[in-house]
Amino acid sequence: MYRRKLAGDGEAKADASRVDPREAGLVAVLLVLAAASWVFTSTQLAGMDMGAWTDPGPVGFFTVTWVVMLAAMMFPSVAPMVLAYHRIQRHRRQAGRYAPAGSTSVFVAGYLAAWTVFGLVAYGLYLGAAALAPGAFAPDQGGRFVAAGVILIAALYQFTPAKNVSLMKCRSPMDFILHRMRPGYSGAVRMGVEHGAWCVACCWALMTALFALGVMSVGWMALIGAFIAGEKMLPWRRLANRSVAAALGVIALGVALVPAAATGMGM
């Protein structure tokens, strides 16, 4: 009987460690979409990077570009959350509970919607500030110091309780899913928007810093995306958080003192 118990435990561990091909396929789809978004963004933004406070263009162009940028930057780091949601939905279906097909895609759409709202608000604030103070963002009129100040604020935000709480929500996908599970497509949208809102609370300062550095710069976009992925996925949360803060501080000094270096990130 003891041997049977050991054999049963071994089989359970093997099942737990076995990679589900459907889950692997989901992660692969997210990564392929992210890669395709990088290619599309690089093509769309070729030659548009003019350094700090680059004009984001008309609202339609900005919105499309922003959503594609989000897919490129966020899909790798949001993959664990999407996978956790997909896994719970699959278990609900196996248990005979309501879990409609395609709800994972709806969850992702809700996540993107939250970030799109943030992008449009940031876009409006940028245009409003530019209209109130024409030329204030120009490099030869103190724009580099405004950019450096925004980036420094992003660095300081890394040390705040709000950053810590929201980052913990982003780093604990199963806890988030289990405590906020809502059925149906409407529930998937609400959960996606809620997770997106926590992600905005975690990363709004980094994305604002991207506006300051040049929202049309693929190089800066890649760096900020790497910061976000590192914070959410590396096991050393505090070290990753402090490292991002230190890097932002260095970037802020570089933008203020050596503005020509900031324009070298465009691709």
The answer to the question of residue 3 being in a domain is: no
Burial of 80: CB neighbours in 10 Å, binned 0-12, 13-18, 19+: middle
- Give 204-221 pLDDT, tens digit per residue: 999 988 888 877 777 888
The answer to the question of residue 49 being in a domain is: yes
The answer to the question of residue 7 being in a domain is: no
The answer to the question of residue 8 being in a domain is: no
**Residue linked to tokens 């409407």:** 186
Residue 91 confidence (pLDDT) above 60: yes
The answer to the question of residue 222 being in a domain is: yes
Please report which helix (H) or strand (E) contains residue 17, including its range: helix 2-17
pTM: 0.80
The answer to the question of residue 9 being in a domain is: no
Domain span holding position 66: 16-265
The answer to the question of residue 6 being in a domain is: no
Write the single-letter amino acid at 161. Answer: P
**Residue linked to tokens 């609202």:** 59
Write the single-letter amino acid at 225. Answer: G
- Give 32-75 pLDDT, tens digit per residue: 878 888 777 777 666 565 556 667 778 888 898 888 888 888 88
Three-class SS of residue 167?
helix
Q: How many structural domains compose the chain?
A: 1
The answer to the question of residue 150 being in a domain is: yes
